[in-house]
Amino acid sequence: MAEKSFDVVVLGGGPGGYTAAIRAAQLGMKTGIIERDRLGGVCLNWGCIPTKALLKNAEVLQTFRRGEEWGISYDNLKVDFGKIIKRSRVVSEKIVKGVEYLMRKNKIEHIPGYGVLLGNGAIEIRAEGKPDEKVTAKHIVVATGARPRTIPGVPIDRKRVISSTEAMSLTDQPKSMIVIGAGAIGIEFAYFYNAVGTKVTVVEMMPSILPVEDAELTKMMEASLKKQGIEILTQAKVESVNPGSNDVTVTVTAADGKKELKGDVALMAIGVQGNVENFGLEKLGVTVERGHVRVDSDYRTNIPGVYAIGDVIGPPWLAHVASAEGVHCIEAIAGKKPAAIDYSSIPGCTYCQPQIASVGLTEEKAKAEGYELKIGRFPFRPLGKAVAIGEAEGMVKLIFDAKYGELLGAHIMGAEATEMIHELVMAKKLETTGKEIFHTIHAHPTLSEAVMEAAAAAYGEAINI
């Protein structure tokens, strides 16, 4: 049996894994990456990227429907659901090809198959139609990601009860859909399906949609989505999910009692769980806690030579966090002593329209942590640019510590929020205070002027309101 040896082998080709592999190769390590499916992981194949393609369709549709506002009218606006899905697959394919190219460019060996850790740096590669192969590595980075979680006792049958994977590759557009869970994934699909004409009901156990976001903004968001036609039930507990032959019945208990919801499909979007089973972690004795691998701040597990990054180590389950962890993990292996990742400065984005993007603490959390706050708000409505482009719905909310002036949290709802958030992520990372933000000249006319004005508002110095 031919046995290849590597400096680093990454298990899993998602955004965490492939980024780690590239960094390792850049640092001169002989690197391999094991992936049984396409490179790119959930993010590129079944997550971030294809959904953004779908959401753009929804956005374009929304804009067409508002054509009259701009003096553009047409008859016979049609939606081809099949083409929309196909476009999203093409987009995904393109980006995945890009990752394959990056592997070749960096001379990283893509080992197709299912990797099983054998201990002492050995990994068995199982691939269909091929004899098992063995490779060894000085350092093994586990980046196996996570998969959709479901409610106990409710199996995802992929027909009536579906996960996000099915939701982005349905052949027929459902007439109605019940979305269970109002996190980013649930809300994005609710927005998309509602826009293309499906009747959507969202069920959320928590008091508000997007429960990790600032309550003031999610309240505005909820109103906006309801206005678009989405039915939203919060503080509603799912009691049972009964798939039938033509539809599915979801029974919920809400504040106003028990309800039976019927839909063509139910989308399970309550979160994800780490992929920690059946590839040797147990055998090696790697510590797994609550479904996630436990690591230290350099992403080392308790077993020397075995590291873990990304969704498999737990929340926040975000591609950009996985990538950052991958880079850090490799640099630590190379002895570069990278600065620890600051988990308080990670942007979170939800890509419906209007969008929500945030970094740092919400008002509720900041208060709970005992900060005395100075809060600045600035709505989109007075902004020339927002009115000109017809996107006046939105707000920037900045939360500062009253004592030292630190930017504790930034929350944006509105068009382009997911692009606008980054100056605030940078500001937070560089430890600026509100003053530097509003003394930074922002171009006019832009939506980003709202960021400057919100910071000024915290100091009582906003101009255009």
Partner 1 sequence: MARIEVVMPQMGESIAEGTIVKWHKKVGDRVKKDETLLEISTDKVDSEIPSPAAGVLAEIVVPEQKTVAVRTVIAYLEAEGGAVAAEASRPTVPSAMETPKPIAMAPAPISAAPAITPLAAPASGRFYSPLVLNIAREEGIAMNELELIPGTGEGGRASKKDILAYVAAKKSGAIAAPSSPSVSKATSAGILAKPVDVPELRGKYPAPDFEILQMSNVLQKMAEHMVKSVATSPHVAAIHEVDMTNVVKHRGAHAIEFEKKEGFKLTFTPYIVEAVSRAIKKYPLVNTSIEGDKIIKKNFINIGIAVASENGLIVPVIKNAEEKNFLGLARAVNDLATRTRAKKLTPDDIQGGTFTISNYGVFGTMIGTPIINQPQVAIIGTGAIKKRVVVIDDAIAIRSMAYFTMSFDHRIVDGALGGMFLEEVVQYLQNFDINLKF
Kindly list the catalytic residues.
444
Nearer to partner 1, 353 or 432 (CB): 432
Q: Which of 435, 442, 446, 465 binds partner 1 (CB under 8 A)?
A: 435
Stretch of residues binding partner 1 (CB under 8 A), selected from 120-128, 261-269, 443-451, 456-464: 456-464
Write down the least CB distance from residue 330 to partner 1, Å: 9
Q: Does 305 bind partner 1 (CB under 8 A)?
A: no
Build a one-symbol-per-residue string for 354-393: x at contacts with partner 1 by CB under 8 A, - elsewhere: --------------------x-------------------
Stretch of residues binding partner 1 (CB under 8 A), selected from 13-21, 159-167, 182-190, 455-463: 455-463
Write down the least CB distance from residue 5 to partner 1, Å: 11
Q: Which of 37, 436, 445, 446 binds partner 1 (CB under 8 A)?
A: 436
Q: Where in 228-247 is the site for partner 1 (CB under 8 A)?
A: none
Picking from 200, 191, 193, the residue whose alpha carbon sits closest to that of residue 170 is 193
Picking from 398, 403, 462, the residue whose alpha carbon sits closest to that of residue 428 is 398
Q: Does 417 bind partner 1 (CB under 8 A)?
A: no
Q: Which of 214, 406, 416, 449 binds partner 1 (CB under 8 A)?
A: 406
Which letter does DSSP use for residue 44 in this model? H
Burial class (CB in 10 A: 0-12, 13-18, 19+), 128: exposed
Report how far residue 366's alpha carbon sits from residue 360's, in angstroms, rounded to the nearest whole number: 9
Picking from 176, 183, 185, the residue whose alpha carbon sits closest to that of residue 208 is 183
Q: Which of 211, 243, 305, 405 binds partner 1 (CB under 8 A)?
A: 405
Write down the least CB distance from residue 436 to partner 1, Å: 5
Write down the least CB distance from residue 437 to partner 1, Å: 10
Stretch of residues binding partner 1 (CB under 8 A), selected from 26-34, 46-54, 256-264, 389-397: 26-34
Q: Does 4 bind partner 1 (CB under 8 A)?
A: no
Nearer to partner 1, 23 or 385 (CB): 23
**Interacting residues of 139 by C-beta distance below 8 A, sequence separation 6+:** 7, 8, 9, 305, 307, 333
Burial class (CB in 10 A: 0-12, 13-18, 19+), 36: middle
**Interacting residues of 463 by C-beta distance below 8 A, sequence separation 6+:** 453, 456
**Interacting residues of 282 by C-beta distance below 8 A, sequence separation 6+:** 288
Token reading at 78:
């049609």
Instruction: Report the SS3 class of residue 396.
Output: strand
User: Helices 81-105 and 15-26 sit at what angle, rounded to 10 degrees?
Assistant: 20
Instruction: Report the SS3 class of residue 58.
Output: helix
Report how far residue 411's alpha carbon sits from residue 413's, in angstroms, rounded to the nearest whole number: 7
Report how far residue 64's alpha carbon sits from residue 369's, in angstroms, rounded to the nearest whole number: 45
Q: Does 426 bind partner 1 (CB under 8 A)?
A: no
Nearer to partner 1, 137 or 288 (CB): 137
Write down the least CB distance from residue 408 to partner 1, Å: 11
Nearer to partner 1, 211 or 305 (CB): 305
One-letter identity of residue 426: M
Q: How many residues bind partner 1 (CB under 8 A)?
A: 26
Q: Where in 310-349 is the site for partner 1 (CB under 8 A)?
A: 333-335, 339-340
By residue count, the chain amounts to: 465
Query: What residue has token string 């001379």?
Result: 107
CA of residue 235 relative to chain centroid, distance: 23
Q: Does 29 bind partner 1 (CB under 8 A)?
A: yes
Q: Does 74 bind partner 1 (CB under 8 A)?
A: no
Name the residues that contact partner 1, by CB under 8 A: 7, 27-30, 138, 333-335, 339-340, 374, 403-406, 430-433, 435-436, 458-461
